[in-house]
Amino acid sequence: MSEISKELSCQYCNEKIAASDVFCGQCGQPIDEKSEVKEDVFNALQPALLYYFITFLLLATYKLTSFFPEGFDGFILVSVIDVLIVLVFWHHNFDELRELWSLKKIKIGLITVTILFAVLAALVVSLIAAFLNRSIYEEVYYETTLYEESPFPFLVATLLVAVQPAIFEEVAFRGFLFNYLKKVTTPTSAIYVTAFLFGVIHLQFISLLWLIPMGLIFAYSRNRYNTLWYGVFGHFAYNFTITAINFWNVG
Amino acid sequence: MEQQDNLITSEFITCENCNAQVVSTVKFCNSCSFPVAGSEDDKRSFRLSIGSKKRQVKDAEEKIKTCKTIIYILAGLLFISGLVVGFAQDDYASMIVNLCISLLYLILAAWSEKNPFGAILTAFIIYVTLILINFIVEPATLFSGLLFKILFIGAFVKGVRSAKEAKDILVELEKTKSL
Ligand SMILES: [Zn+2]
């Protein structure tokens, strides 16, 4: 038995305890237990489920029904609502998320590797898609015709398809959704769950084959390095490459 | 200071529950919280509470198992319906989609062995997502097999809660050296 150190005392009965004690010898209460109230899982997960299903309903209504206007207008409208939903949750979790944006955690070498890897992945995925068939091809590529209605098609496409998801999907899936899940389960479990949801919410079921691995890599790096930056740069590089190939093919 | 000297020179006793050596002045074992200085009643109620926790884990594991079975059933159903739309109706795009989701469920079922909470939660969300997709495309589909949908959703909700509960109790049991 170790000697009793002067600083340690039981949080329940104030009796002195040894560093090796798991339970207090006088009152039998656990020593390091955080005095947290055990909350129902679904209560704890409520905001996560809320974000997921609201966003899902928005995207599903846009992709599967004619509720939203056709063409560029509809796409802009849905993107704006999508961003607004994320902003509400971002605002609610602002302090927790702020540390994930810290620039100090960026390592230039890793960022470069991330970008190169993302570009390579995008090239491979588009080759596979082109090789498979037209129906899968359309899943991978975004319609260029959509942007022809706008003054600078390539610039607008870059903003909507590469910049917007790189920031807002990362804040959502690797930011607050990840944090909500980490409250009820292990980080590893949070990595997998957010990756699956990230894949599914895109509503492109063949693309799950690469969306889920992408989600896994981004979530892993978010957990490993405690930053969103690798996800943001990787996500941007991937989507930008797909967009560029897309315009190249058309032009 | 006095107390410290007193403790260092004091005798040790062996905990009946975990065999740890504890100072004879304590009321509870420092390593497993067993009431070493308690009455027979205290000791019995400690063992009873461990027993009831173990039973809770068993119950939870039953519900987790039900969910695993459901996930395998869903994987199988989608696989079959994928083949049917593909080869009987020549709808290869739908076939690939169905096979992809079937594969997804299969992965989740396999993952549920290692991490029931994450896998069942994910399967539950995907299941509800697919019901909603079908509903948005064709509202009438909501009512086909409605009873099964309700049963499966109920089982998933219980499964998610049970997986979390089982994990929490196992941590507690581990701490009281009762596994
Ligand atoms: Zn003990």
pLDDT tens-digit profile of B76-121? Answer: 999 999 999 989 888 888 888 899 999 999 999 999 999 999 999 9
Calculate the alpha carbon distances from A191 to A49, A173, A214 in Å: 16, 10, 11
CB B22 within 8 A of CB B11: no
What pLDDT is stored for residue A48 in this prediction? 96
Domain membership of residue B93 (yes or no) is: yes
Question: Do B86 and B152 share a domain, yes or no?
Answer: yes
Question: Do B68 and B147 share a domain, yes or no?
Answer: yes
CB A58 within 8 A of CB A85: yes
Predicted confidence (pLDDT) at residue A4 exceeds the cutoff of 50: no
Q: Tokens in use for A62?
A: 């846009």
Question: Do B15 and B80 share a domain, yes or no?
Answer: no
Question: Do B146 and B110 share a domain, yes or no?
Answer: yes
Entry field: residues in chain A: 251
Domain membership of residue B47 (yes or no) is: no
Please provide the average confidence, as pLDDT, over all residues in chain A. Answer: 87
Contact A136 B96 (CB under 8 A): yes
Domain membership of residue B171 (yes or no) is: no
Confidence of residue A140 (pLDDT cuts 50, 70, 90): low
Alpha-carbon gap: B9 to the closest alpha carbon of chain A (Å)? 11
Question: Do B16 and B67 share a domain, yes or no?
Answer: no
Q: How far apart are CA B36 and CA B28, in angstroms?
A: 5
Break chain A into its structural domains and give their ranges. Answer: 1-31, 44-250
Q: Tokens in use for A83?
A: 């961003």
What is residue A2's DSSP assignment? Answer: P
What pLDDT is stored for residue B152 in this prediction? 97
Contact B30 A206 (CB under 8 A): no
Most confident of the ranges A60-64, B68-72, B94-98: B68-72
Question: Do B83 and B131 share a domain, yes or no?
Answer: yes
Question: Do B64 and B141 share a domain, yes or no?
Answer: yes
For helices A41-64 and A187-201, angle between their N-to-C axes, nearest 10 degrees: 20
Confidence of residue B8 (pLDDT cuts 50, 70, 90): low
Alpha-carbon gap: B147 to the closest alpha carbon of chain A (Å)? 22
State which residue of chain B sits closest to A212, comparing Cα positions: B104
Predicted confidence (pLDDT) at residue A251 exceeds the cutoff of 80: no
Question: Do B12 and B71 share a domain, yes or no?
Answer: no
Query: Which residue matches tokens 């390579």?
Result: A120
Which domain range does residue B24 map to? Answer: 6-36
Predicted confidence (pLDDT) at residue A188 exceeds the cutoff of 90: yes
Q: What is the pTM of this model?
A: 0.88
Set of chain A residues whose Cβ sits within 8 Å of the Cβ of B35: 28
Give the DSSP H or E segment for B9.
helix B2-9
Question: Do B144 and B88 share a domain, yes or no?
Answer: yes
Mean per-residue pLDDT for A200-206?
85
Domain membership of residue B85 (yes or no) is: yes
pLDDT tens-digit profile of A84-110? Answer: 999 999 999 999 999 999 888 889 999
CB B24 within 8 A of CB B12: yes
Lowest mean pLDDT among A17-26, A124-133, B57-66, B138-147: A124-133
Set of chain B residues whose Cβ sits within 8 Å of the Cβ of A29: 33
Share of chain B above pLDDT 70, in %: 94
Alpha-carbon gap: A60 to the closest alpha carbon of chain B (Å)? 7
Question: Do B65 and B27 share a domain, yes or no?
Answer: no
Domain membership of residue B168 (yes or no) is: no
What pLDDT is stored for residue B2 in this prediction? 45
Contact A208 B100 (CB under 8 A): yes
Question: Do B118 and B154 share a domain, yes or no?
Answer: yes
Q: Tokens in use for A12?
A: 């329940």
State the amino acid at position A147 in one-letter form.
Answer: Y
- What is the distance between the terminal CA atoms of chain B, rounded to a whole angstrom? 38
What pLDDT is stored for residue A71 in this prediction? 82
Question: Do B15 and B100 share a domain, yes or no?
Answer: no
Q: What is the total count of domains within chain B? A: 2
